[in-house]
Amino acid sequence: MADEEAWSLLAGVKEIVVAKGKTYVRLVPHLNSKEDILKKTLGRSGTLRAPALLLGDRLLVGYSDGLYTQFFG
């Protein structure tokens, strides 16, 4: 999913949680800038990082044990 298509998905959720190393970062589309969100959620190829998992109004992007433990136990 390229940047503008990804942005359509990202802008439509209440919270984006992005894996960053062993931790994660929480972003809110109406509080964080479009540029900041795209910078953190798109990979080197310019597409949405994988895995990307939509959970209701929250989007998890990337993988870290801490992130998945937080949301799935």
Token match 């439509």: residue? 12
Task: Please give the tally of structural domains in the chain.
Answer: 1
> Does pLDDT of 30 surpass 90?
yes
Q: Which two three-digit tokens encode residue 55? A: 């959970």
Question: What is the length of the chain?
Answer: 73
| Beta pairing class for 58-61 and 15-20 | parallel
> Does pLDDT of 25 surpass 90?
yes
* Assessment of whether the complete model's pTM goes beyond 0.85: yes
